[in-house]
Amino acid sequence: MNLKPAKEFTVLQSYVDLGDPHVWSDARNRLSIRFAIYEPLVRHDGRGTYRPALAQSWTLKDDAQTWTFQLRTGVTFHNGDTLKAQDVVATLERVCAADLPGEMGTQGLYSSYLAGSAIKALDDHTVRLVTPEPMADLLDLLVKLPIVPQRTLAGLSDAPVGSGPYRFVKADDDCIAMEGFDRYWGGRPPVEKLYWKAKPSARQRVAALLAGEADIVTEIDLAGKQAVEAAEHASVVALESSLCVILMCNAQSGACTDKRVRQALNYALNMSEIIDAIKGGAARPLNGPLTPLHLGYDPLTPPYPHDPDKARALLAEAGYAGGLELVVDIPTTHPDEAPDLAQHLAEQYAQVGIETQIQVFADRPRYAEMVKAKRIDDACCFDSSPLSTYRCLREKFHSGVAGPWWQGYSNQQVDALLEQAWATADNARRQALYRRAYRIIRDDAPWIFLYSPQYFWGVGPRARGWTAGIDGLVRPM
């Protein structure tokens, strides 16, 4: 829903950051700021369907490799340049560089998918991209790829220039200031001056909202939600997320190489109790590695029920009738509740004869690198965040790809189904293939499937009627 016109508008987040727009990120705070300035070729609508952005149309040949994008005409960048196919080609070529930096283990992510692609401007408004292998889900990547003017590529982080509704003005550690871009192709933005401000404390963000110092505040907790709901001039926006909070099992060495152990680790948990204790009920139990927002999610697959007797029987079959010692790695952030979560897991595992040793890692980037290097103990707590069935299943479960977050799981039938899906241009047929793989992955239990949390925002009077998109980003339009 569009916002009403306003001279000033303030969004409070836990942090603000600009940086290089082509450094891959799944961080909603960073992406909200990024896509106020920049635009991709395609965007999500409220249901997750891809819609035109800078590309007004596109086609995919039956080979699932040859994509042709027809660009929108009359698009002006903030520096006055007009969008041309050469800008898109230059952007794509830049992100294909293997040395493009990343965060939380995402270095070279675009390159891992697009290196070797043939990228060509057929004319000023037509781009053809031929991927080296079938990639029917290419739009999952392009939705997060900001297009920039070719001649600004050398100084992106110093002077950000995009085609989005808001133009960058200035930034410091605590605030990024923008102004509405009056030449925006989609029409004049409703806000004249837009401020993104950092306030690390969720309590302080809520207090600022209630004091009238902010229009939207992100990442409010349950206590903040209750405070906002009790206020007359503010309201809460809630959204089911695509985030999966899980434990990845080490399927390469140790007890979790045995499928029966992995299944037992799922049956042993009472997820209703855990969700109530950790998230105040504001989460959905997982029935596999995806959420209902994902293309490959199978609504007919049941979550693992809480069945301690089944867990004990499986452990006994696997040779652990006398008990199992399990070492679980956890970060202190992302997910932020990981330390509390680990304690609840350990308590429930003790009831089926599993003694859990918890290894805590405070350095989150280092933790991500450890997981990427596949140096985890028996299991590790992680958050799987992409709103992309393709990325989730390719990077985490295909044994031939052995992607950054793969931990040794191998099933030839899953590999074959995923490869078929990647080569299937028809969405319905591709979804059916993903769902078949999904059911097998759930039963093989390479993860301990925990929950998908809800997200909450607080909104003030000027933002009344605003809703978050399926990707959870703040878009003040």
- Residue span(s) of the chain under CATH 3.90.76.10 come to 40-148
Classify domain 1-38+164-234+460-477 by CATH number: 3.40.190.10
Q: What integer pLDDT is reported at residue 173 of this predicted model?
A: 87
- Residue span(s) of the chain under CATH 3.10.105.10 come to 244-455
- pLDDT tens, position by position, 116-150: 999 999 999 999 999 999 999 999 999 999 999 99
What's the start-to-end Cα distance of the chain, in Å?
8
Distance (Å, rounded) from C-alpha 92 to C-alpha 22?
10
- Residue span(s) of the chain under CATH 3.40.190.10 come to 1-38+164-234+460-477
Domain 40-148 has CATH 3.90.76.10: yes
Is the peptide bond preceding residue 335 cis, with omega within 30 degrees of 0? yes
**Phi, psi of 195, deg, nearest 5:** -120, 130
Q: What integer pLDDT is reported at residue 98 of this predicted model?
A: 75
Tell me the two tokens of residue 111. Answer: 């390159």
Residue 157 near residue 174 (C-beta atoms within 8 A): no
- pLDDT tens, position by position, 410-455: 999 999 999 999 999 999 999 999 999 999 999 999 999 999 999 9
Distance (Å, rounded) from C-alpha 381 to C-alpha 340?
12
Q: What integer pLDDT is reported at residue 47 of this predicted model?
A: 73
Question: Strand pairing of 447-459 and 216-217?
Answer: antiparallel
Q: What integer pLDDT is reported at residue 25 of this predicted model?
A: 85
Residue 290 near residue 392 (C-beta atoms within 8 A): yes
Tell me the two tokens of residue 86. Answer: 């050469």
The residue to which tokens 């859990």 are assigned? 356
How would you write the chain as a 3-class SS string? Answer: CCCCCEEEEEEEECCCCCCCCCCCCCCHHHHHHHHHHCECCEEECCCCCEEECCEEEEEECCCCCEEEEEECCCCECCCCCECCHHHHHHHHHHHCCCCCCCCCCCCCHHHHHHCCCEEEEEECCEEEEECCCCCCCCHHHHCCCCECCHHHHHHCCCCCCCCCCEEEEEECCCEEEEEECCCCCCCCCCEEEEEEEECCCHHHHHHHHHCCCCCEECCCCHHHHHHHHHCCCCEEEEEECCCEEEEEECCCCCHHHCHHHHHHHHHCCCHHHHHHHHHCCCEEECCCCCCCCCCCCCCCCCCCCCCHHHHHHHHHHCCCCCCEEEEEEEECCCCCCHHHHHHHHHHHHHCCCEEEEEEEECCHHHHHHHHHCCCCCCEEEEEECCCCHHHHHHHHHCCCCCCCCCCCCCCHHHHHHHHHHHCCCCHHHHHHHHHHHHHHHHHHCCEEEEEEEEEEEEECHHHCCCCCCCCCCCCCC
Q: What integer pLDDT is reported at residue 161 of this predicted model?
A: 94
Q: What integer pLDDT is reported at residue 125 of this predicted model?
A: 98
∠ at Cα 24 (186, 411), nearest 5°? 120
Q: What integer pLDDT is reported at residue 343 of this predicted model?
A: 97
Distance (Å, rounded) from C-alpha 270 to C-alpha 87?
52
Distance (Å, rounded) from C-alpha 161 to C-alpha 66?
29
**Helix 222-230, helix 202-210: angle, nearest 10:** 10
The architecture that CATH gives domain 244-455 is: Roll (3.10)
pTM, two decimal places: 0.94
**Phi, psi of 344, deg, nearest 5:** -65, -40
Q: Which residues of the chain have pLDDT under 50?
A: 1
